[in-house]
Amino acid sequence: MGVALTRSAQWTAAGYGTRTLETTPLNEAILQEIIIFIESFIYKHPQEAKYVFVEPLEWKTDLDPSAFELGYIVSETTVESEETDENGQPLLFFSVPQIQVRSFGQLSCLLFIAKDTKLKEAQACIEANRNPVAKILGFDYNAIKEDSSVLNILDKITEDDDPESEVKMKIAMLLKELDLHLLNHSLKHISLEVSLNPEAVKNDVELLKRFSGKGEETVLESITYTSDYEFSNGCRAPPWRQILGEMCYVLVKPHDVETLCITCSAEGVFLNGGKIDDEGEINYERKGAIYKDLITFLKNTSAKFSEVMSKEQIRFNELQNGKDQPNETSDKKESDAVPKAVDGSDKGMLERKQINFGKRQMAKRLEPSLNWKTTVDYKGRRSSLRDTHKEKRGGKLEKSAPSVSPGKTHKNVSKTEEIVSESSSESEEDEEPPDHRQEANADLPSEYWQIQKLVKYLKGGNQIATVIALCSLKDFNLAQETCQLAIRDAGGLEVLINLLDTDEVKCKIGSLKILKEISHNPQIRRNIVDLGGLPLMVNILDSPHKSLKCLAAETIANVAKFRRARWAVRHHGGITKLVVLLDCAQNSTEPVQSSLYDARDEEVARCGALALWSCSKSYANKEAIRKAGGIPLLARLLKTSHGNMLIPVVGTLQECASEENYRAAIKAERIIENLVKNLNSENEQLQEHCAMAIYQCAEDEETRDLVRLHGGLKPLASLLNNTDNKERLAAVTGAIWKCSISKENVTKFREYKAIETLVGLLTDQPEEVLVNVVGALGECCQEHENRVIVRKCGGIQPLVNLLVGINQALLVNVTKAIAACAVEPESMIIIARLDGVRLLWSLLKNPHPDVKASAAWALCPCIQNAKDAGEMVRSFVGGLELVVNLLKSDSKEVLASVCAAITNIAKDQENLAIITDHGVVPLLSKLANTNNDKLRCHLAEAISCCCMWGRNRVAFGENKAVAPLVRYLKSNDINVHRATAQALYQLSEDVDNCITIHENGAVKVQLAGFVVLYKLSKCRLEKNLNNIKVLLEGVFGYTKLPPCWVRAVGGPCVIMDYAVQIVSWRENFYKSKTIKCTQ
């Protein structure tokens, strides 16, 4: 966090007062990330949240004491937290206006109390505590350099004997991760704000050098770079300054002022602190305002430069244009591409446009990566669009013609940008493709210039000319990218969008038809949103003309392919209006169009479903569709036989079915039956979406049963035979995977020979298909008959071969499938021969916890069924140490799976001795204080098996593992009871453990009952009173037992409590002193 605040955050210049954070978007983004980290800290890291800082964080706050409620002692001017440290000092103390906070937990609570002012509080805290990490962990931590690795941090903290060193270690790593996250986030933020690029700066410097020198007629005396070394990305600034967007530093000597040291950055050009020593070290601190480019900066700084530059402006511009168009040959070549019908004046105008077009070619920016690649400047492009718009808004339409108001478009742009800057509830961030423009000297087709001329007529203001121009534009091949970009580059998008705000239906239809075609281009989509086109299209959905509704909905469907667009549709009420369009088909009685402006009701509903399909890729929009009543309407449309209608309807359902609320509604509306029915359609795209919808819905058991009852399993199995369409194959195999979770469905798939087909798909398929195929086989192989089929079809080898992949989901499914197959001894022989166990063991090093856990679970049946399992395990160099070290994992699933693996490993005495030497006993003991029943069960089993070696029983007692095990007996899980009774039975052979068991109240009839019932089931004895009595006497060493003890184990009676006494270690049995029996 210290590095990010030092290098990424933007501070005010050093003066007489304390330096503060500037009010910039970058600083706000950094503060928001810190707030998110602190707010979630108390939930994600509850133990570390209680850690008491070495020194409190202190700052001035505007909060009122009355804002503090539960958990605080509040007076008129002071507030103290009820939570205190070991010395009784409150972890939060507030004496107006100063506040002191000494733990992350209290910081998190304070931000929740601050509510709307949390950003202000975070800023005040950072400004008052410039080195918060040192205050949290101590000044020793401050000695660690900014470039220290995580290992150095751990070494530094673990040098002392502080009992809290482990917590401090964890916090240090968390803060280091936050630091890296803030730096990466800053890079991403900076990359979106760049307006200058190294090439533009270099061009300006080179031109200024040509106009510099001695004499009154030169603009400058001299201009030079501070560094001669140029990086591959064109920058001359050091890499650690490039992170901040700085590209180079220039020394400029005007005629009338002292030498200036100027920073050229992505944000603009500004004056820095100059050189601070003879070695050329620069004071990078900004000393003034930021200007858009070097020329503007010098004009505002030097009067002499401004005066001379005004005289040389024409010559300077000619040289700039010469750089955009380096040779006359290309000019001639491009001008020859203009149609011969264009007269001389128009030709000159087009040539000037061509020059301007070259100037507007895409701006390059720095990518948020240390590779420093060049890419597109999104913000600069957006500014360029606005500038272009201002230049192009020359004429207005006549009064009788549709009113085209460029001012309104500009207003919509600002409004859209303001809205999008707010936080969105949508979970996914679609990648917006980079913008690019045609090179000015490129060989452009004649259509490009024809379209530019038509756009000029489109702006003319005459209604008839506007309609003719729209019709002429529609005749071009608008699917061609050159034609799409020609409309945009000539300023046609602004005009087309403004036409949507007129009252002339013909102009609206013509504009929407063009926008519908060109909005397939990702760059055009983004431009339409930037220019405020979506609100106008949403308003058209209320039009009485059905053709307008259809065109608007189809255009929305094309545009809403990325998050900002989907957000805009929802924000302007578009979801509700689109859902209303779905109801049109229910009132359809007129099969023929009645006029130019009407369309069939089915077509209106289809276009509405198409738009909803695009919008449904975000959670918030899915909820909006459901609340607007979209599910019943989609269910009704699903009964139609029109394929064009069904595809968007099923596509929308498929996207929405990922949410549990939708799955319940889909069952209620009986949609599954129609999805199954459409699996038999001849339309491959419809089959794909139906299978994908079943895949999403089949998480629910009732849905899986409905698919089987409606006959959906057979068409799914038959679709496996067509492997040409990979997208459909992925959807079909996914549906089979989820349906295979139910045993009844697995039986059906076996009848349809689907398992053999799935085995054949284990090779030469994309990963999307393999994940689903292996997942389905993993479910099917839970049954013996299917395991035999997989083995006989040669499926073991391709499964083992997949263990060397890197796809996380695929590895999880493969390990599960191999675990199921390893239950069969014959299959286990093949797995061992193919070195499958070693590959499984190597997956324990995988960074993903799910893969580690799945691999550990798979090792259990492999060890159980392998021949010479003990020797096989020992043959893996470092394997046992790796397993033991996994007991340090933070994942409960990993811990449970590793405990299960240790249970099987420990059955071999030599292996048990090895893992004991690796410290398995203290690590298992450390896990005893857990509330997770799954982990409890396998942990107790592991402890029970590990007791069989040396003095491990005593070691478990010394590591305080016995007392927590007693509490496991209060669990509601019978498997936990059985494992715990077995573990306590082994531990009780040590006298000290017996005392601990007694002191923690485990010596009750409940414990006896667990042991007895466990042995009854293991020995396959009947549960009668005689057997129970014999076993009880064996457990406790008594010759006679009270009858109520026997009844307590055999029936509902429970012995609440009784006192016992240790007689001697040799005899190791208990005698009862008092017995209370409650019926």
Model pLDDT for residues 520-557, shown as the tens digit of each residue: 998 899 999 998 999 999 999 998 888 899 999 999 99
Between β-strands 374-376 and 1070-1078, what pairing exists: parallel, antiparallel or unpaired? unpaired
> For residue 11, what pLDDT is reported?
66
Q: Which of 574-588, 748-762, 1015-1029 has the lowest mean pLDDT?
A: 1015-1029
Which residues lie closer than 8 Å to 1057 by C-beta, 6 or more apart? Answer: 1001, 1004, 1076
Which residues lie closer than 8 Å to 838 by C-beta, 6 or more apart? Answer: 876
Hey, which of 391-405, 410-424, 655-669 has the most confident mean pLDDT?
A: 655-669
First and final CA of the chain: distance in angstroms?
A: 63
Which spans in 500-618 are helix H? 505-518, 522-530, 533-540, 546-559, 563-571, 574-582, 601-615
Q: Which of 203-217, 237-251, 596-610, 890-904 has the lowest mean pLDDT?
A: 596-610
Amino acid at 565: A
What's the Cα-to-Cα distance from 918 to each of 887, 906, 912, 915, rounded to whole Å?
11, 13, 10, 5
- Whether pLDDT at 743 is above 70: yes
Residue-wise pLDDT for 121-171, tens only, equals 888 888 888 788 888 887 665 544 444 444 454 455 445 555 567 788 788
Q: Is 724 helix (H, G, I), strand (E, B) or coil?
A: coil
Hey, which of 391-400, 479-488, 808-817 has the most confident mean pLDDT?
A: 808-817
Q: How confident is the model at residue 966 (pLDDT cuts 50, 70, 90)?
A: confident
- Give counts: helices (H), strands (E), the chain: 59, 15
Q: What are phi and psi of 1060, to 5 degrees?
A: -135, 170
Residue-wise pLDDT for 85-112, tens only, equals 888 889 999 988 899 999 988 888 888 8
Structure tokens at 519: 């909005």
- Sign of the Cα torsion 512, 518, 520, 526 reads negative
Structure tokens at 723: 């492997």
CA 114 – CA 35 distance, rounded (Å) = 11
Q: How confident is the model at residue 839 (pLDDT cuts 50, 70, 90)?
A: very high
Residue 225 β-bridge partners: 250
Mean pLDDT score of the chain, rounded to an integer? Answer: 76
Helix axes 743-751, 701-709, angle to 10 degrees: 30
Across 475-501, average pLDDT? 87
Residue with tokens 């272009």, as numbered in its chain: 388
Q: Which of 157-161, 532-536, 927-931, 979-983 has the lowest mean pLDDT?
A: 157-161
Task: Check residue 969 and report its DSSP letter.
Answer: G
CA 599 – CA 543 distance, rounded (Å) = 13
CA 579 – CA 584 distance, rounded (Å) = 10
Helix axes 630-637, 601-615, angle to 10 degrees: 120
Q: What are phi and psi of 610, to 5 degrees?
A: -65, -45
Amino acid at 641: S
Structure tokens at 613: 């399909």
- HEC secondary structure over 999-1038: HCCCCCHHHHHHHHHHHHHHHCCCCCHHHHHHHHHHHHCC
Identify whether the C-beta of residue 364 lies closer than 8 Å to the C-beta of residue 376. Answer: yes
Across 751-760, average pLDDT? 91
Residue 1055 β-bridge partners: 1077
Residue-wise pLDDT for 602-642, tens only, equals 888 889 999 999 999 888 998 899 888 888 898 888 888 77
> For residue 1022, what pLDDT is reported?
54
Q: Which of 407-411, 434-438, 503-507 has the lowest mean pLDDT?
A: 407-411
Identify whether the C-beta of residue 581 lies closer than 8 Å to the C-beta of residue 549. Answer: yes
Across 727-747, average pLDDT? 92
> For residue 282, what pLDDT is reported?
86
Q: How confident is the model at residue 43 (pLDDT cuts 50, 70, 90)?
A: confident
What's the Cα-to-Cα distance from 827 to each of 170, 469, 799, rounded to whole Å?
44, 73, 12
How would DSSP label each residue in 387-445?
HHHHHH------TTSPP--HHHHHHHHHHHHHHHTS-------PPPPPP----TTS---
How would DSSP label each residue in 138-166?
-HHHHTS-TT--HHHHHHHHTTS--TTHH
- Whether pLDDT at 1006 is above 60: no
Say which residue, 4 or 636, is predicted with more confidence. Answer: 636
State the CB neighbour count (10 A cutoff) for residue 225.
15
Burial class (CB within 10 angstroms; exposed 0-12, middle 13-18, buried 19+) of 131: middle
> For residue 176, what pLDDT is reported?
81
Burial class (CB within 10 angstroms; exposed 0-12, middle 13-18, buried 19+) of 867: exposed
What's the Cα-to-Cα distance from 662 to each of 650, 668, 675, 1013, rounded to whole Å?
13, 10, 15, 45
> For residue 611, what pLDDT is reported?
92
What's the Cα-to-Cα distance from 52 to each of 1, 277, 574, 830, 839, rounded to whole Å?
18, 43, 51, 56, 44
Structure tokens at 99: 């506040």
Identify whether the C-beta of residue 961 lies closer than 8 Å to the C-beta of residue 928. Answer: yes
> For residue 1024, what pLDDT is reported?
56
Say which residue, 882 or 660, is predicted with more confidence. Answer: 882
- Whether pLDDT at 387 is above 80: no
CA 651 – CA 920 distance, rounded (Å) = 52
Q: How confident is the model at residue 660 (pLDDT cuts 50, 70, 90)?
A: confident
- Whether pLDDT at 589 is above 80: no
- Whether pLDDT at 416 is above 90: no
> For residue 363, what pLDDT is reported?
32
Q: Is 103 helix (H, G, I), strand (E, B) or coil?
A: coil
> For residue 1058, what pLDDT is reported?
28
- Whether pLDDT at 254 is above 80: yes
CA-wise closest residue to 939 among 999, 892, 874, 890: 892
- Sign of the Cα torsion 862, 865, 869, 872 reads negative
Which residues lie closer than 8 Å to 1038 by C-beta, 6 or more apart? Answer: 1032, 1069
Q: Is the peptide bond before 433 cis (omega within 30 degrees of 0)?
A: no
What's the Cα-to-Cα distance from 841 to each of 177, 420, 719, 818, 945, rounded to whole Å?
29, 48, 36, 13, 21
Rg (CA), the chain: 37
> For residue 436, what pLDDT is reported?
53
CA 186 – CA 192 distance, rounded (Å) = 10
> For residue 33, what pLDDT is reported?
87
Expressed in percent and rounded to 5, the helix, strand and coil fractions of the chain are 60, 5, 30
Share of the chain above pLDDT 90, in %: 23
Q: How confident is the model at residue 856 (pLDDT cuts 50, 70, 90)?
A: very high
Say which residue, 425 or 271, is predicted with more confidence. Answer: 271
Q: How confident is the model at residue 211 (pLDDT cuts 50, 70, 90)?
A: confident
Structure tokens at 1041: 């037992």
Hey, which of 216-230, 292-306, 383-397, 811-825 has the most confident mean pLDDT?
A: 811-825
CA 205 – CA 209 distance, rounded (Å) = 6
Across 996-1015, average pLDDT? 57
CA-wise closest residue to 542 among 590, 580, 496: 580
CA-wise closest residue to 781 among 821, 741, 754: 821
Residue-wise pLDDT for 340-363, tens only, equals 333 333 434 433 333 333 333 333
Identify whether the C-beta of residue 306 lies closer than 8 Å to the C-beta of residue 313. Answer: no
Q: Which of 69-83, 868-882, 1049-1063 has the lowest mean pLDDT?
A: 1049-1063
- Sign of the Cα torsion 153, 158, 162, 165 reads positive
Q: Which of 208-222, 413-427, 722-736 has the lowest mean pLDDT?
A: 413-427
Between β-strands 78-81 and 92-95, what pairing exists: parallel, antiparallel or unpaired? antiparallel
Sheet of 246-253, strand order? 222-225, 246-253, 260-265, 269-271
> For residue 25, what pLDDT is reported?
66
- Whether pLDDT at 375 is above 60: no
CA 193 – CA 256 distance, rounded (Å) = 34
Say which residue, 830 or 181, is predicted with more confidence. Answer: 830
Across 480-487, average pLDDT? 86
- Whether pLDDT at 507 is above 90: no
- Sign of the Cα torsion 1064, 1069, 1075, 1078 reads positive
CA-wise closest residue to 979 among 928, 1024, 915: 928
Identify whether the C-beta of residue 351 lies closer than 8 Å to the C-beta of residue 410. Answer: no
> For residue 716, what pLDDT is reported?
92
